Amino acid sequence: MPFKIYVCVKHVPDSAANITILDKTRIEEKITFIINPFDENAIEEAVQLRSKVGDAEVVAVTIGKPAAVETLRSAMAMGADRGIHVVTGDPPDSIATARALKAAILADGAPDIIFTGKGSIDSEGFQTMFRLGAALGVPAANNVASFRLEGRTATVESELEAGGRAVIRMPLPCVIGAGKALNKPRYPILPDIMKARKKPIRTVPMESLDIGTPPASVQLIELRPFSDRRQAKLIPGPVEKAVEELVRLLREEAKVI
């Protein structure tokens, strides 16, 4: 049986896109969407692992609207062998997401390892990998900066505060949340993109998955534009004088030093 590597990838608005709030909780989606940046590190690590293991398969999984298929294509252009698309309407919270990821993965095969990103840049939940690990009853590490597999033991370095790291050892299967320092994601070239178009994607309606009845939820009730009331005050004059004025303002007006 091939070694099964699953990678959870999320379809998110490009960080440079303008976000327009349509009604209380929805945004205008005619903007550029991308694969969540940290999920690129997850795919990269999975693809590198596949070549080390040999007989292994990389499966990208996404939960999202029909358009999220684009993100599966990106993952496959980077090297994933195939994709699973759990199709939803409104985005589920991370509790339901983790349950759906678990159900979709287990319906497909027995994972040896699961990669995720360390966080998603749209909802910024910072929790799906831990919930997925707990749901599967397997250990999880996040913000992983280095990864090594020996036999069925994974050793990772997880980033701690101020550049420190914890060296963590876990048996397979486990969940690994990729950080930016883990690797440098490859940039797919045209032939990779063409090849990705022919790779298989299985589409699964969210409703068809058995995710039980979550005992808890987090519900978005309102989105508001971030308002920044700063009034930029450019301090004129020769540098020496300007700095003097800045120090005075920081002390007396802003009272922050």
Partner 1 sequence: MPRIGVFIETREGRIKPAMSGVITAARGPNHELYGLVLDGRAADYKAQLQAFGIHRIVDVASPTGPLGWNPDTWARAIALAMREFGLEALFGLTSAMGKEVLPRIAAILDAPLLMDCLRVDVEKRTAEKSQFSGKTTGVFKLNGAHCLYGMRPNVIEAIPAPTEAKIDAFQAPVTEGALIVEALRLEASRGVDLTEAEIIISGGRAMQNGDNFRILRECAEVLGASVGASRVAVDAGWVPHSMQVGQTGKTVSPKLYIACGISGSVQHFAGMKTSGVIVAINTDPKAVMMQHCDYGIAGDLFEVVPILTRQLKASLNHG
**Using CB under 6 A as the criterion, which residues of the chain lie in contact with ligand FAD when the complex forms?**
15, 37
Q: How far apart are CA 123 and CA 64, in angstroms?
A: 13
Site for ligand AMP in 26-45 (CB under 6 A): 36, 38-39, 42
Task: Please identify which residue in 23, 55, 90, 228 interacts with partner 1, judged by CB under 8 A.
Answer: 228
d(CA 187, CA 44): 10
Residue nearest to ligand AMP (CB): 117
Residue 154 binding result from ligand AMP, partner 1, ligand FAD, none, given CB thresholds of 5 to 8 Å by partner type: none
* 48, 126, 181, 186: which one binds ligand AMP (CB under 6 A): 126
Q: Smallest Cα–Cα separation from 88: which of 209, 229, 199?
A: 209
- Member of 26, 148, 195, 251 binding partner 1 (CB under 8 A): 251
List the one residue out of 48, 204, 15 whose CA is nearest residue 115. Answer: 48
Applying CB under 6 A, among 117, 173, 179, 185 the residue interacting with ligand AMP is: 117
CA gap 33, 26 in Å, rounded: 15
Residue 110 sits in the site that holds partner 1 (CB under 8 A): no
Smallest gap from Cβ 93 to partner 1, in A, equals 8
Stretch that binds ligand AMP, among 123-131, 144-152, 204-212, 231-239 (CB under 6 A): 123-131
Find the binder of partner 1 among 64, 91, 92, 139 (CB under 8 A): 139
Map the footprint of ligand AMP across residues 222-251, applying CB under 6 A.
none
Q: What is the distance between the alpha carbons of residues 238 and 242, in angstroms, rounded to a whole number?
A: 6
CA-based nearest residue to 36, from 54, 11, 53: 11
Pick the binder of partner 1 from 107, 134, 149, 201 (CB under 8 A). Answer: 134
40/74 Cα distance (integer angstroms): 9
Site for partner 1 in 229-248 (CB under 8 A): 230-235, 239-240, 242-244, 246-247
In angstroms, the CA 182 to CA 156 distance is 10
Q: What is the CA radius of gyration of the chain?
A: 22
Nearer to ligand FAD, 13 or 125 (CB): 13
DSSP string, 47-77: HHHHHHHSSEEEEEEEEE-GGGHHHHHHHHH
Say which residue the tokens 């701690």 belong to: 160
Shortest reach from residue 128's CB to ligand AMP, in Å? 3
Distance CA 137, CA 149 (A): 20
Point out which residues bind ligand AMP (CB under 6 A).
Answer: 8-10, 36, 38-39, 42, 61-64, 94, 97, 116-117, 119-120, 123-129
